[in-house]
Amino acid sequence: MSVALNGVPTKEELKRVTPPEEVLAKKPVVMVECFQNIPCDPCAANCPFGAILPFADINDLPLVDYEKCTGCGICIASCPGLAIFVLDMNYSAREALIKVPYEMMPLPKKGQMVSGLDRQGCKVAEVMVQKVTRTKNKTSIISIVVPKELAQIIRNIRVEDAVNGR
Ligand code: SF4
Ligand code: SF4
């Protein structure tokens, strides 16, 4: 299997962490894009539904039980790697809702149009902010409405004049 050398995941890596089509078709669900064996496990510890399986070793990669995942998004802000997303492919006939982690300031506002970025940070569309959820740490959760065909492409947003909030 090929492994990303520049921080951008390979097709094989993404295929491995993409929820099954039948799950995506029926409910919102998490997609955990974590590919490095580092000592880190808050995602598993913070899922209230046990959907991210307990790690046998702190260096393990996360494993998801998609049947248990409710798509709540609680795990998103727990991840220091900003590697967790939630996909709702049934938001509307043509649109998906994606929850992404965000740590820049100022936060966007509900209803605001922002740039939807791919995993390389390139703008691929203007997308609408559907919800902004602050959490108890620096990571907020931004829900964005995207065309369904971009649901596996867009993984970040850019807000004009934003600076790093850390
Ligand atoms: S989205 Fe919710 S249920 Fe799914 S893995 Fe994350 S915390 Fe658990
Ligand atoms: S918290 Fe994030 S970086 Fe750490 S193991 Fe979980 S998904 Fe990977």
The CATH number given to whatever domain includes residue 81 is 3.30.70.20
How far is ligand 1, taken at its centre, from the CA of residue 74, in Å? Answer: 6
Residues 32 and 110 grouped into a single domain: no
Question: Residue 40 sits in which domain range?
Answer: 1-86
Number of domains observed in the structure of the chain = 2
Label residue 2 by pLDDT band (50, 70, 90): very low
Pocket probe for ligand 2: among 33, 37, 41, 139, the residue whose CB has the most ligand atoms within 8 Å is: 41
> What mean pLDDT is reported for the chain?
94
pLDDT value of residue 4: 52
| Band (3; pLDDT cuts 50, 70, 90) | very low
Residue 107, helix vs strand vs coil: coil
Candidates 102, 101, 75, 92; CA nearest to 145 is: 92
Contact (CB, 8 A) for 150 and 91: no
| Nearest protein CA to atom 4 of ligand 2, as residue | 40
Which H or E run contains 14?
Answer: helix 11-17
- Residue 20 above 60 pLDDT? yes
Q: Are residues 46 and 18 in the same domain?
A: yes
Look at residues 58, 86, 114 and tell me which one is the last residue of a structural domain. 86
Atom of ligand 1 nearest to the CA of 28: 1
Does 75 share its domain with 142? no
- Do 81 and 7 reside in the same domain of the chain? yes
For residue 51, the CA-to-ligand 1 centroid distance in Å is 6
The confidence score (pLDDT) of residue 7 equals 76
Q: Which of 54, 86, 118 is the last residue of a domain?
A: 86
